[in-house]
Amino acid sequence: MPTEETLVLVKPDGVARGLTGEILARIERKGYSLVDLRLVEPSRERLEKHYAEHEGKPFYEPLLEFMMSGPSVAIRLTGDRVIEGFRSLAGTTDPTSAAPGTIRGDLGRDWGLKVQQNLVHGSDSQESAERELSIWF
């Protein structure tokens, strides 16, 4: 399988908690390569493009508000099967049930808020990665 690229975001909760370095270290220890890295204050327009498939869902507005609440770190990663590998490294979406050893399992928790604050985002497919990378880079 050829080398892939993917988008990873350290979301505002991860940046605010000072976990960017820990998350980057885990990515690098896994053997993936950082191609580009940016600290971004995302605009509503950028987030609307990124989360377009969720428009109209009950969590859409709270999600946009959360993602605009502070800076995110956008990361372009490369590596063999990096999409699948990062999603495994991140853990399941719900940090309460994410397995120990994963980013969300070790560092995340449920804060009882309107939207899940789960530290990171990773593209879920090659098509999503291409679309999302074009939005953030």
- Is residue 107 a contact partner of residue 53, using CB atoms and an 8 Å limit? no
Token digits of residue 18: 């000072």
Distance (Å, rounded) from C-alpha 36 to C-alpha 24? 12
Q: Where are the beta strands (DSSP E) in the chain?
A: 3-10, 33-40, 72-80, 120-122
Q: Please name the residue that has the structure tokens 């505002």.
A: 12
Q: How far apart are the first and last CA of the chain?
A: 24
Please indicate whether residue 54 is annotated as part of the active site. no
Q: Per the residue annotation, which of 67, 121, 123, 129 is the catalytic one?
A: 121
Catalytic positions are 121
